[in-house]
Amino acid sequence: MIRKDIHAVITGDLVDSTAISKDYHEVLFRIADDIQKYQLSDFKFDIYRGDSFQALVSDPNKSLLISIIMRSGLRRYSNGSSISDAWDARVSVGIGKITSDPNGKLGQLIGEAFVRSGRGLEPMKKEGLRLRITTGEEQIDREFESTCPLADHIISRWTTSQSEAIYLSLLKGITQKEIGEELKQTQRVVSKRLESGNLESLSNFFNRFKEIIEWKFSN
């Protein structure tokens, strides 16, 4: 079991936010509300500096999943249907201690998870990266440095139609039939979207991520 003082912080910023015509604030808060409803009731989220956002995840095991839910949600609500039209964000996950009361306001919290998340995001634009995980353990972080770009390669190629099916699958954990009913599509169409989006490969990454985090931060 992961120690109670260990949390994950997600810091992100939108890619090419000046080219987005719709209200992305509304979309980000809609995604955050979905996460609170279906994944983590105490999920804390806020937007700052216009196109940047931050979230506190009380269960570090879910931080990678929630990060990708956020990215798939952004891509789902994009204008247009092509990959080039899709909204996206650079996302940095920092895992570690929170030294202040985690029940306080997000902007007032401090701890190594915030430091790792913020520092991880700073060079990502220059490096061309959109996913980073930092734990403070060099060997673990090096493993994530090699796997995150592979995951990002998959995510960055999702169309809006693939993203809406993947979003519902990751967010709610529902069946392909149920996704189809919600999207008014056949199960076959949903299956093709999930398969072409390489969701199974990401599922393997989620499992490996949980193993590592449990090993690093367990009692």
Contact of 115 with 41, CB cutoff 8 Å: no
Number of Cβ within 10 Å of residue 195's Cβ equals: 11
pLDDT of residue 32: 97
* 1 domain residue, yes or no: no
pLDDT of residue 100: 74
Q: How many domains does the chain have?
A: 1
* 11 domain residue, yes or no: yes
* 135 domain residue, yes or no: yes
CB within 8 A of 174, min separation 6: which ones?
168, 182
pLDDT of residue 20: 62
Using CB atoms within 10 A of its CB, is residue 114 exposed (0-12), middle (13-18) or buried (19+)? buried
- DSSP category for residue 10: E
Q: For the domain that residue 211 is a member of, what is the CATH number?
A: 3.30.70.270
Range of the domain at 72: 6-217
pLDDT of residue 12: 96
In angstroms, rounded to a whole number, what is the distance separating the alpha carbons of residues 177 and 188? Answer: 9
* 45 domain residue, yes or no: yes
In angstroms, rounded to a whole number, what is the distance separating the alpha carbons of residues 158 and 162? Answer: 6
pLDDT tens, the chain, 219 aa long:
888 889 999 999 998 765 565 678 889 999 999 999 999 999 999 998 778 999 999 999 999 999 999 999 999 987 666 677 789 999 999 999 988 777 778 877 889 999 999 999 999 999 999 999 999 999 999 999 999 999 999 999 999 999 999 999 999 999 999 999 999 999 999 999 999 999 999 999 999 999 999 999 986
pLDDT of residue 17: 66
pLDDT of residue 105: 80
